[in-house]
Amino acid sequence: MKRDLIRIIQWGQELLSEVVQLGDLVFDLTAGNGQDTLALYQMVGSTGQVVAFDIQSQALLATRERMVAAGAQVRLHPQGTQLLRSDPGIDLLEMCHTELTGGVPGLAKGIIANLGYLPGGQRELVTRPDSTVKALEQSCSVLAAGGRLAVVVYPGHPGGTEEGTAVTNFFTELDDSTFKVLQMQVSNRSQAPFLFVAEKQS
């Protein structure tokens, strides 16, 4: 199928789908309205497990609705939930993604993070450079060999440029003997979102 060349989010999903298989464990660091969670679910199927984080209950409820409509088994966990067990289905955690390593049941074949604010929600509840970088550090430690981490950055909102710089520095400094890193960017539009994909070497 022909892709829209500059749909950065779709490129991120597409590049994850090349390595994620049915039955795999995958993480969504920013559930939002659940579109990435759904894309991950379509990759891992009903035998796989998707763990998705968000700090807003509004986002998790929207994601749950989308996932239930897709026929998935969904578990919604409140704040303070301890380590999840390995179990097929969708786990939605009302938790900051800096709690990633304390919450997930194993190593992931794919991790996605679509940064910024919830479309249609409060713009102040936005991802922030410090917590984003912490979550990315943890993501690298819980990524399985051969797995990929895809991050979409939006420089256009207040604080977005600073977050973009922090994320760019993070990926630029990853050890190239452990990670292959790709960056994709629309070149002829100002403040366009951009994508990093890192693949952990076997």
Q: Give contact residues for ligand SAM (rule: CB under 6 A).
A: 30, 32-36, 53-56, 59, 96-97, 114, 116-118, 125-127, 131
Note whether 46 and 24 are within 8 A (CB).
no
- 68 vs 145 by CB, closer to ligand SAM: 68
Based on CB atoms, which residue is closest to ligand SAM, 117 or 171? 117
Give the shortest CB-35-to-ligand SAM separation in angstroms.
3
Residue number, 145 or 167, with CB nearest to ligand SAM: 167
Minimum distance of ligand SAM from residue 175's CB (angstroms): 25
Cα–Cα distance between 73 and 42 in angstroms, integer?
13
Cβ closer to ligand SAM: 114 or 139?
Answer: 114
The answer to whether 136 touches 65, Cβ cutoff 8 Å, is no
Pairing label, strands 108-114, 25-28: parallel
Encoded tokens for 182: 């790709």
Q: Smallest gap, in angstroms, from Cβ of residue 79 to ligand SAM?
A: 12
Q: Which is nearer to ligand SAM, 53 or 170 (CB)?
A: 53
* Smallest separation, CB 176 to ligand SAM (Å): 28
Whether the CB-CB separation of 184 and 11 falls below 8 Å is answered with yes
Q: Specify the residue, 21 or 35, whose C-beta has the smaller distance to ligand SAM.
A: 35
Provide the H-helix boundaries in the chain: 8-17, 35-44, 57-69, 100-103, 129-141, 160-172
Report the distance separating Cα 1 and Cα 9, nearest Å: 16
To ligand SAM, the closest distance from the beta carbon of 31 in angstroms equals: 6
Instruction: Tell me the closest approach of the beta carbon of residue 94 to ligand SAM, in angstroms.
Output: 9
Q: Which residue has the closest beta carbon to ligand SAM?
A: 32
Three-state SS across 155-188?
CCCCCHHHHHHHHHHHHHCCCCCCEEEEEEECCC
